[in-house]
Structure 1
Amino acid sequence: MSDLPLRSQLAVALGRTASRMSRLAGRGDGSVIGGKIGLKLDPELLTRLSADRKLVLVSATNGKTTTTRLIASAMSGLGEVATNAFGANMPTGHVSALAAAPGARYGVLECDEKYVPLVLRETGANVVLLMNLSRDQMDRAGEIWQLAGKWRKALEGVDTHVVANCDDPLVTWGASTAKRVTWVAVGQHWREDSWCCPECGGPLDREASHWACRQCPFARPKPDWILHGDRVTAPGGRTYDLDLQLPGRANRSNGAMSLAVVSLFGIAPEQALPLLGRVASVAGRYTTVQHEGRDIRLLLAKNPAGWLEAFDVLEPAPGPVALSINAQGPDGRDTSWLWDVDYRVLKGRPVWATGERRLDLAARLEAAEVDFRVVDDIEQAVMAVPPGKLDVIANYTAFQTIRTRYGRAL
């Protein structure tokens, strides 16, 4: 940090002060305001703070925060790791994360899909992990084909090693211009956004795990790492048990991608797996909190693909579920995506609908012929459940409100 120009040192110091004041005022963890002030004083601060560090950028529509946490945990044996653990995934959050760990030689940064080209250009990251692309906040991010095209252009000719999910055709297309790619087969559970070839627009044929365009040579690459069930096969053919505390197939995918990334830093699966297994909760996701005799498990789902994965880890039926939907800026203002989620899986369960857009949710549940009850506040749903377990699925701002109310556990 002492190698920084005086202006940059001042920017870092004032940013840290702003972050600390934000935390003391109970306005959040301060990641955004600290980075915003730092970049205002020194627009090149992100580039300066990235110098002489080995950095990983993690981007996807779903699973960024969790996978960032898993990679940072697996790399902890190398020394201090700078990371934006709470999901502040734009340049302001990256500046705060790097400034908070001036002595860290390594960094693992979650990166918003839209910001990958900018952050890659300013940091010169050593590794970029690309996991999935599906519709999300269309009013802000636009069509996901556009995002994949931006990734493709940003990676062309740069000296960055890309790790990418070869089961997602859009991710494969976005990553395929990179000089070096490690392909990981972790499956693609949500396919509704990738029935057409991003290269020529023709139809994609799928047979088992393979996919290929019917009209051009674009096809699934041969994977280097393969996830099958709860086991991972590494390059060379050796297979490892993926024993995670985090539940569900999505987190097994996140774990497999993490192993592929950390292997580039010389960390063998034997070293990484115990560290991955220590992660039990990520920024409140999957946390169970106790309240008035109820065990409330918090699940984040902010788009159709995320809801599909949240349904995968629900307590067995007829376990009760509370659903909470907002439509603030970080969520996306448009709630039409609710109609892309198949809520029929909730039939036979007690279901409560709440949040600022509970009536939008209620209309969707009614169309799916799911019995439900609309409540004005999450507390009404919690107290309507007999003492025992309750799963709560919420989108971003609704999740943060509920998490603050019942405990901000990591």
Structure 2
Amino acid sequence: MSELPLRAQLAAALGKGAASLSRATGRGDGSVIGGRIALKVEPDLLAKLARGRRLALVSATNGKTTTTRLIAAALRELGPVATNEHGANMPTGHITALSNAPDARNGVLEVDEKYLPRVLRDTNPAVVVLMNLSRDQMDRASEINLLAKKWREALALSETHVVANADDPLVAWAGMGAHYATWVSAGQRWKEDSWCCPECGGHLKREPDPHWECPECGMRRPETTWAVDNRTDAVIDPYEQRWPLRLNLPGDANRANAAIAMATAAAYGIPPERSLPRLQEIRSVAGRYTSVVTDGVEVRLLLAKNPAGWLESFAVLDPPRVPVILSVNAQIPDGKDTSWLWDVDYTVLRGRRVFVMGERRTDLALRLETDEVPFETADKVSDVITRLKAEQPDITKVDVIANYTAFQQIRAHYGRVQ
């Protein structure tokens, strides 16, 4: 902090004070308000705080927070890390994260997709991590093809090292704009947003999976040096050595996140034998995948914000005998448009007891009815538990899938579990 100009020091100090006051009064964790006040004093503060650091920027539609947490854990092998690993992924949050760790040479910042070009320009990062792009909050965000175009243009003007998922055509096309790239075969379960070539608009040939190419212009999947093997729960490194993951985070999506994290750590000079043990220690990320016990029933919390996220959550549900609660809001952080519910295939929930909650439960109920999935309505998780206990005294577990604000409301009810 002492190396910062006096004005930047003052801005950072005022921001930290505002953040502390926000936490003390229960208004929030202070990440946003602290950065906002700091920017009022010094508009160029982000660039000044980033100077002299080796930053990794992490951007995607799904998995940003988890992958940021994994990379930060790996980079702690080198010492303190500045990070916003619990969210706050716009410049105000980045300023707070960097201000809170003035002596950390390395940093990992989760970045909202829309803000990536700006943050890339301001921070001059060592690495940019790109994982996936799919439709999300269409009333706020740009079309994903436009986002990918902006990413590509920004990367072409930078000397940063890109670590990117080669299996997502939009991400690969954006990453091809970079001068240096490490390609990871991380998989892509949700393909509905990437059937057309981002270069020429032609129809992509997408077989055998994960290969893809455009018969019209010749654009094709880059050759990869890292890969995740979901069948054997392993990551394959550039030397074709297999590293069994054995993560405490469930599902194929988190195996993909781990592969990306290991490739990023390697770009910092940290080999898999040093990065992987740190990834294996993580059991929950900002409440995601956390289980809490209430009235003798284990309640597992899963966050799903868009069709791709719901598809991944369905893939990690417990057997059909375990009931599931679905909760959907449509507040500003969620996006006001709930038409995306019609892009999700809910037929996988047939044969399972399903409860619907949230401010937009009627939208969700109509969608389930259309897919012929029986459901019951409820106001709170505790109401569901009470009902289930009365009917099934031996019930031991319930899964909860919720979109962003619904998830945060449920998490807050249980004391903002980590």
Q: For 2:372 and 2:251, locate their aligned partners in 1 and report how far apart those are by CA, in whole Å.
A: 26
Q: For 2:125 and 2:281, locate their aligned partners in 1 and report how far apart those are by CA, in whole Å.
A: 26
- Return the match for 2:403 from 389, 392, 395: 395
Question: What secondary structure, in the 3-state scheme, does the structure 1 residue paired with 2:57 have?
Answer: strand
1:384 deviates by 2.2
Residue 190 (structure 2) pairs with residue 190 (structure 1): yes
Contact kept, 8 Å, 2:114 with 2:142, in 1: the verdict is no
Contact kept, 8 Å, 2:18 with 2:34, in 1: the verdict is yes
1:238 deviates by 1.4
- 1:297 alignment partner AA: R
The corresponding residue for 1:127 is 127
Contact kept, 8 Å, 1:84 with 1:97, in 2: the verdict is yes
Q: For 1:155 and 1:395, locate their aligned partners in 2 and report how far apart those are by CA, in whole Å.
A: 31
Show the 5 A alignment for 1:267-346: 267-346=270-349
Larger displacement relative to structure 2 (148-157 or 377-386): 377-386
Larger displacement relative to structure 2 (83-92 or 1-10): 1-10
Q: For 2:343 and 2:384, locate their aligned partners in 1 and report how far apart those are by CA, in whole Å.
A: 25
1:382 deviates by 3.0
For residues 243-266 of structure 1, what are the alpha-carbon distances to aligned partners after superposition, in whole Å with 9 as ceiling and x for unaligned? 210000000000000000000111
Show the 5 A alignment for 1:6-405: 6-208=6-208, 209-229=210-230, 230-386=233-389, 387-405=395-413
Q: For 2:386 and 2:91, locate their aligned partners in 1 and report how far apart those are by CA, in whole Å.
A: 41
Question: What secondary structure, in the 3-state scheme, does the structure 2 residue paired with 1:240 have?
Answer: strand
1:383 deviates by 2.3
Contact kept, 8 Å, 1:289 with 1:407, in 2: the verdict is no
Contact kept, 8 Å, 1:291 with 1:406, in 2: the verdict is no
- 1:42 alignment partner AA: E
Question: What secondary structure, in the 3-state scheme, does the structure 2 residue paired with 1:162 have?
Answer: strand
Contact kept, 8 Å, 2:325 with 2:401, in 1: the verdict is yes
Larger displacement relative to structure 2 (273-282 or 387-396): 387-396
Q: For 1:379 and 1:27, locate their aligned partners in 2 and report how far apart those are by CA, in whole Å.
A: 25
- 1:228 alignment partner AA: D
For residues 184-223 of structure 1, what are the alpha-carbon distances to aligned partners after superposition, in whole Å with 9 as ceiling and x for unaligned? 0011100000011010000000112211002111100110
Q: For 1:394 and 1:258, locate their aligned partners in 2 and report how far apart those are by CA, in whole Å.
A: 26
Q: For 1:339 and 1:382, locate their aligned partners in 2 and report how far apart those are by CA, in whole Å.
A: 28
Q: For 1:23 and 1:399, locate their aligned partners in 2 and report how far apart those are by CA, in whole Å.
A: 20
Q: For 1:186 and 1:10, locate their aligned partners in 2 and report how far apart those are by CA, in whole Å.
A: 43
Normalization by structure 1: what TM-score?
A: 0.99
Residue segments in structure 1 that go unaligned for 5+ positions in a row: none
Q: For 1:149 and 1:266, locate their aligned partners in 2 and report how far apart those are by CA, in whole Å.
A: 30
For residues 363-397 of structure 1, what are the alpha-carbon distances to aligned partners after superposition, in whole Å with 9 as ceiling and x for unaligned? 00110111101123333223223341111100001
Q: For 2:155 and 2:224, locate their aligned partners in 1 and report how far apart those are by CA, in whole Å.
A: 19
The corresponding residue for 2:392 is none
Question: What secondary structure, in the 3-state scheme, does the structure 1 residue paired with 2:139 have?
Answer: helix
Contact kept, 8 Å, 2:8 with 2:42, in 1: the verdict is yes
For residues 151-207 of structure 1, what are the alpha-carbon distances to aligned partners after superposition, in whole Å with 9 as ceiling and x for unaligned? 011000311000010000000111101000100001110000001101000000011
Question: What secondary structure, in the 3-state scheme, does the structure 1 residue paired with 2:333 have?
Answer: helix
Q: What value does the CA root-mean-square deviation take over the aligned residues?
A: 0.9
- 1:272 alignment partner AA: S
For residues 22-63 of structure 1, what are the alpha-carbon distances to aligned partners after superposition, in whole Å with 9 as ceiling and x for unaligned? 111222211111111111111011001001100000000000
Q: For 2:157 and 2:49, locate their aligned partners in 1 and report how far apart those are by CA, in whole Å.
A: 24
Contact kept, 8 Å, 2:18 with 2:30, in 1: the verdict is yes
1:290 deviates by 1.3
Q: For 2:255 and 2:42, locate their aligned partners in 1 and report how far apart those are by CA, in whole Å.
A: 40
Contact kept, 8 Å, 1:59 with 1:112, in 2: the verdict is yes
Q: For 1:9 and 1:158, locate their aligned partners in 2 and report how far apart those are by CA, in whole Å.
A: 28
For residues 290-319 of structure 1, what are the alpha-carbon distances to aligned partners after superposition, in whole Å with 9 as ceiling and x for unaligned? 112121110000000000000111111121
1:109 deviates by 0.3
Question: What secondary structure, in the 3-state scheme, does the structure 2 residue paired with 1:330 have?
Answer: coil
1:407 deviates by 2.5
Identity rate, percent:
61
Question: What secondary structure, in the 3-state scheme, does the structure 1 residue paired with 2:3 have?
Answer: coil
1:225 deviates by 0.5
Q: For 2:398 and 2:110, locate their aligned partners in 1 and report how far apart those are by CA, in whole Å.
A: 30
The corresponding residue for 1:2 is 2
Contact kept, 8 Å, 2:70 with 2:279, in 1: the verdict is yes
Residue segments in structure 2 that go unaligned for 5+ positions in a row: 390-394
Q: For 2:350 and 2:27, locate their aligned partners in 1 and report how far apart those are by CA, in whole Å.
A: 38
Contact kept, 8 Å, 1:23 with 1:30, in 2: the verdict is yes
Larger displacement relative to structure 2 (233-242 or 347-356): 233-242
Contact kept, 8 Å, 1:22 with 1:30, in 2: the verdict is yes
Q: For 1:272 and 1:142, locate their aligned partners in 2 and report how far apart those are by CA, in whole Å.
A: 35
Indicate how the Cα distance of structure 1 residues 22 and 382 shifts in structure 2: closer, same or farther if over 3 A, else same: farther
Contact kept, 8 Å, 2:304 with 2:404, in 1: the verdict is yes
